[in-house]
Structure 1
Amino acid sequence: MLGGFAGTALAHGGGLRAAAGSLSVPTWLFLLTGGGVVGASFLLASFVTDRAFIRAVHRWRRVAGAPLDSVATLTRVLSVVALAGVVAIGLLGPREMFRNAAILTVWVGWWAGYVATVYLLGNSWPALNPWRALSEWLPSLDREYPETWGAWPSVAGLLVVVWLEVVSPLADDPRLLAWVVVGYSVATLAGALVFGPDSWFGEADPVARLFRYYGKVAPIQRGEDGLELRPPGAALTDAGLADGRDEVAFVVAVLWVTTYDGFVGTPVWVETATLLVEVGIPPVLLYPVAMLAGYGLFLGAYWLASSYSRKTAETYLTPDAIAERFAPSLLPIAAGYHLAHFLGLFVSLSPALVSALSNPLNPPINPSVVVLPDWFGMLAVAFVLLGHLLAVWVAHTSAYEVFPGRLQAVRSQYPFVVVMVLYTMTSLWIVSAPSASPPFV
């Protein structure tokens, strides 16, 4: 049973993917319907023009005090133990990926399961980050972090990590995974040693920045007085979340890498990549070029929308200022697609994860998996659409925070809605496509 699932779960050598299922309607009609839903949601949101109502919704909150610092000390100790365990089991445990607790912990427990809790509940990573815990226990040189670097190291780091996940057998080879974790740990601790934990994890570390941004989608936020309960996505309308071109670039990178991770598992990419390899383009060059080209396309489309928004809104705000204000509205799209892409994986392989953790050095030879029903694929579609609907509402709210006129606020969103519709149709096409794997990866 496990071997049969593996045939449909592996999208590429460096990632796990659940089967998408098949569509009972023409794909073109399915995609147009999804794009139409997002467009219609914008029209409905446009009727909500009462600023007082919009602000009341997004500024509603309930505060609950909690002894977070004492809890964080315990959770960081446990996270360091877990990090050491991943490396040890990766090096010493069984080589079969579905039996190795390190493989299952990283890809099923952490990347599929834990990441979802960050945008569904709240960002608990500051209390769980093992690398930050280690860096705070070690001395630091506290050199000044170069202001010109900004978020660019985290942009590059995110692209490199996902590219490495795609082109290498990180989900197949526990030994390789363990050494990659060691390498990432060395690089991260070295950066924190030079610049200090606050600067490194606040600016350069891609994982910390990813979780900080994803956490803004969630209803639970950490405020000055404790934990705050807010409407989902409300924190994305706070000013200053994406401050500068570098941080806008990171938000777009989050959206792109989730798309790229799914796109390389579609038959269209497999056929195209196979053809390009046959004509002489090496895979080692093909995949990074595709990564950078697609990212450039996504980033260019967003900046183009920002420029057109300035014209449609007839404002003196610069395209940069508009781009910074609307960039956070893209995060619900990335969150919805991540949930659509990985929920099936988490549900299917959770029993195997539990079995492997129960006896890491000698897990069951034939771990069980959950066989997903046919209707499960429609949940992926629903998550994609819900993410885009929340994105439309966040953009609508941000527009009323920025522009004084009602018509001006609505017109400013026209270009971004077009981009969101295109993102929607792309995401729906990917989650509905059957899985495929090129033979050369």
Structure 2
Amino acid sequence: MSAGLSKSFQRLYARIRCHRLPAALTSPLLLLGLAMPALTHANEPGYFMLMPTTMYTTAALAAVIATMLVLVSVSPRVVWFMYKPIPVMKVRNVPLFRTVTSLASMMILFGLLTVGIIGSNEPTQNPLPLYFWTIWWIGIIALHGLFGNLWYYINPWSGVLYVIDRLLPNDSRSERARAVESTLKQVAMWPAITVFVIFALFYIVYPTPDDPFRLAMVILGYWVTTLIAMCWFGERGWSNRGEFISILTRGYSRLAPVGVLGDRLCVGLPGWRIASMFSNRSTSKTTALFILLLLGVGSFDGFKGTILWLSMIGIDPLEFPGRSAVLWQNTVGAVIVNALVITLFAACVWLGNYLGRDKINPIPANYAFRSFAVSLLPIAFAFHVAHYLTTFLINAQHALAATSDPFANGANLLGLGSDVVSTGFLDTYGTARRIWIFQALVVVSGHIISVVIARMTAMRLYRSTRRIILSQLPVAGFLMAYTYLGLWLLALPKGV
């Protein structure tokens, strides 16, 4: 396989040299194909950035050092003090505001769906796939980790449900929602997990996830199905059990430095809401599984386009036959990666729980698994931001151009002209280096927050300092390995 990879690197050199990078950056690439260190960083098909091995190994070393410092030198009292939020101001819930923002979001969504159905078939010229996959899935989802649960206000169902309740008051609907609450508790989050798995396969495996018409039909179907489910089970019940976007954004929003606690807007270190919410309880088994799937799906999405993976499944990256030709290989790969993530994490938690056990009052392994799972949220979020960064920087420009000419008929509504999209910033070493540094900082920061949250979980479960440290060693090893994996994936060359 190494010989095949080396040959692919040498063939890639010719394409990159001719099309994308200046000679000053591409000259070392020929040596790269011969020596075989993981130096090339591909962010967008056809755009290659050379990430030096020393950059991600240094970042990984920093993560290891930070982990050891947290494990050994930080006392429980200091950790709890650090994660104590600071109240800033009182806040008042205004239901009408949420109704207005939700209705506005729904109108924007249906406008995009209309353009997706009757507009251009070209994904880079139709606003729907650009806004859905770039602005929303990459950008707005990432903002939840900074500013809190924006989806609570901009989801496209709350407003129309409010209108339905006002225009068609029906007490039986509320009674039915209360009656089925016990049923929803029994099914837990399995509906949301099922829908998320389908969404993930559509995004990372399906041949044409950015086809405007097909994407419009999928989104419309999901919107209608979710609206019906919320009318039947109640908005709150379905948002907590079946609507995976609400669950995902709620999880990421708990990493934000700002949040509401009671009737106060508070600020604190990233992840303080996780620390406060799960200080005395664990999450559910299905929530833990959902978090692990977030991590596994993100990992495989970063791996499936690399030359290493393509070589493993016998595909020449310079003669890529299309996603339909690797449909089953990618599906099996996604299943294997997610199974490995879940199995390895469960094994690490079990081992840590065994090492830190109290023979008189042991902690059940299942409870430990559910408790430690929330510590993976920061790493999953960091992967999301770092992995999609340059994709966002490029495709956001396409989204702006498509907004100016939504039907691809030559309109120039925003007066932007024809030269809207530029990838020149990727051709300069200074800009590329800043992108690498930012990505490395994001991944390492996510790792540190994960380690701190795992530390707080261990303090809650195991009490004594010795058992706390022993219980954390396997989990900390998993977190360090995954952080290195994330940095390594950023440095792997991509073929598609």
Q: Could you say which TM-score interval applies, normalised by the shorter chain?
A: 0.7 to 0.9
- Secondary structure of 2:493's counterpart equals coil
The 1-side partners of 2:472 and 2:48 are apart by: 32
The 1-side partners of 2:149 and 2:455 are apart by: 24
Q: How does 1:87-98 map to 2 (within 5 A)?
A: 87-98=113-124
Question: In structure 2, what is the equivalent of residue 382 of structure 1?
Answer: 441
Q: How does 1:109-120 map to 2 (within 5 A)?
A: 109-120=135-146
Report the CA distance between 1:169 and its aligned residue: 4.6
* 1:72 maps to 2:98: yes
Report the CA distance between 1:146 and its aligned residue: 3.4
Question: In structure 2, what is the equivalent of residue 317 of structure 1?
Answer: 363
Question: In structure 1, what is the equivalent of residue 283 of structure 2?
Answer: 243
The 2-side partners of 1:244 and 1:338 are apart by: 23
Tell me if structure 1 keeps the 8 A contact 2:102–2:155.
yes
* 1:189 maps to 2:217: no
The 2-side partners of 1:311 and 1:259 are apart by: 28
Question: In structure 1, what is the equivalent of residue 236 of structure 2?
Answer: 198
Tell me if structure 2 keeps the 8 A contact 1:332–1:388.
yes
The 1-side partners of 2:466 and 2:396 are apart by: 49
The 2-side partners of 1:18 and 1:64 are apart by: 49
- Secondary structure of 1:231's counterpart equals coil
* 1:429 maps to 2:488: yes
Report the CA distance between 1:282 and its aligned residue: 7.0
* 1:264 maps to 2:304: yes
Q: How does 1:3-42 map to 2 (within 5 A)?
A: 19=47, 21-25=49-53, 33-42=58-67
Tell me if structure 2 keeps the 8 A contact 1:20–1:431.
no
Report the CA distance between 1:168 and its aligned residue: 2.7
What letter matches 1:368 in structure 2?
A: V
Of all paired residues, the percent bearing the same amino acid is: 23
Report the CA distance between 1:227 and its aligned residue: 2.6
Q: 1:430 to 1:20 in 2, by over 3 A?
A: farther
What letter matches 1:247 in structure 2?
A: T
Question: In structure 1, what is the equivalent of residue 459 of structure 2?
Answer: 400
Q: Answer with 1 or 2: which has the greater Rg.
A: 2
* 1:330 maps to 2:376: yes
Tell me if structure 1 keeps the 8 A contact 2:184–2:237.
no
What letter matches 2:297 in structure 1?
A: V
Q: Describe the superposition over 1:96-148 as per-residue Cα deviations: whole angstroms up to 9, x where unpaired.
A: 22221112111221111111100122111111110343344446552343333
Question: In structure 2, what is the equivalent of residue 253 of structure 1?
Answer: 293
The 1-side partners of 2:467 and 2:80 are apart by: 17
The 1-side partners of 2:161 and 2:99 are apart by: 14
Q: How does 1:41-190 map to 2 (within 5 A)?
A: 41-69=66-94, 70-138=96-164, 140=173, 141-142=176-177, 143-144=180-181, 145-170=183-208, 172-190=210-228
The 1-side partners of 2:88 and 2:407 are apart by: 44
The 2-side partners of 1:10 and 1:37 are apart by: 23
Match for residue 300 of structure 1 among 339, 343, 352 = 343
Question: In structure 1, what is the equivalent of residue 328 of structure 2?
Answer: 285
- Secondary structure of 2:260's counterpart equals strand
- Secondary structure of 1:96's counterpart equals coil
Q: 1:154 to 1:241 in 2, by over 3 A?
A: farther
Tell me if structure 1 keeps the 8 A contact 2:41–2:48.
no
- Secondary structure of 1:147's counterpart equals helix
Report the CA distance between 1:247 and its aligned residue: 1.1
Q: Describe the superposition over 1:72-113 as per-residue Cα deviations: whole angstroms up to 9, x where unpaired.
A: 222111111111012111112222222211121112211111
Tell me if structure 2 keeps the 8 A contact 1:241–1:328.
no
Bigger mean CA offset, 336-345 vs 348-357:
348-357
The 1-side partners of 2:473 and 2:494 are apart by: 34
What letter matches 2:432 in structure 1?
A: D
Question: In structure 2, what is the equivalent of residue 341 of structure 1?
Answer: 387
* 1:416 maps to 2:496: no
Bigger mean CA offset, 41-50 vs 230-239:
41-50
What letter matches 1:250 in structure 2?
A: F
Bigger mean CA offset, 343-352 vs 191-200:
343-352
Q: 1:133 to 1:289 in 2, by over 3 A?
A: farther
- Secondary structure of 1:227's counterpart equals strand
Q: 1:34 to 1:156 in 2, by over 3 A?
A: farther
Q: 1:284 to 1:345 in 2, by over 3 A?
A: closer
The 2-side partners of 1:325 and 1:118 are apart by: 22
Report the CA distance between 1:31 and its aligned residue: 5.8
Tell me if structure 2 keeps the 8 A contact 1:97–1:172.
yes
Tell me if structure 1 keeps the 8 A contact 2:41–2:491.
no
What letter matches 2:310 in structure 1?
A: V
Tell me if structure 1 keeps the 8 A contact 2:302–2:489.
yes
Report the CA distance between 1:409 and its aligned residue: 1.4
Report the CA distance between 1:30 and its aligned residue: 6.0
The 2-side partners of 1:271 and 1:241 are apart by: 45
Report the CA distance between 1:42 and its aligned residue: 1.7
Q: Describe the superposition over 1:145-164 as per-residue Cα deviations: whole angstroms up to 9, x where unpaired.
A: 33331112222222221111
Tell me if structure 2 keeps the 8 A contact 1:306–1:320.
no
User: Unaligned 5+ residue runs, structure 1?
Assistant: none
Question: In structure 2, what is the equivalent of residue 220 of structure 1?
Answer: 258
The 2-side partners of 1:425 and 1:179 are apart by: 39
Tell me if structure 2 keeps the 8 A contact 1:122–1:221.
yes
Give the TM-score, by structure 1 length. 0.87
The 2-side partners of 1:44 and 1:9 are apart by: 30
Bigger mean CA offset, 352-361 vs 36-45:
352-361
Q: 1:309 to 1:9 in 2, by over 3 A?
A: closer
What letter matches 1:84 in structure 2?
A: F
The 2-side partners of 1:241 and 1:101 are apart by: 44
What letter matches 2:50 in structure 1?
A: S
Give the TM-score, by structure 2 length. 0.78
The 1-side partners of 2:281 and 2:290 are apart by: 11
Q: 1:190 to 1:428 in 2, by over 3 A?
A: same
Report the CA distance between 1:367 and its aligned residue: 3.9
State the number of aligned residues: 423
The 2-side partners of 1:369 and 1:68 are apart by: 43
Structure 1 vs Structure 2 CA RMSD: 2.8
Tell me if structure 2 keeps the 8 A contact 1:17–1:342.
no
Question: In structure 2, what is the equivalent of residue 356 of structure 1?
Answer: 402
Report the CA distance between 1:181 and its aligned residue: 0.6
Report the CA distance between 1:194 and its aligned residue: 2.5
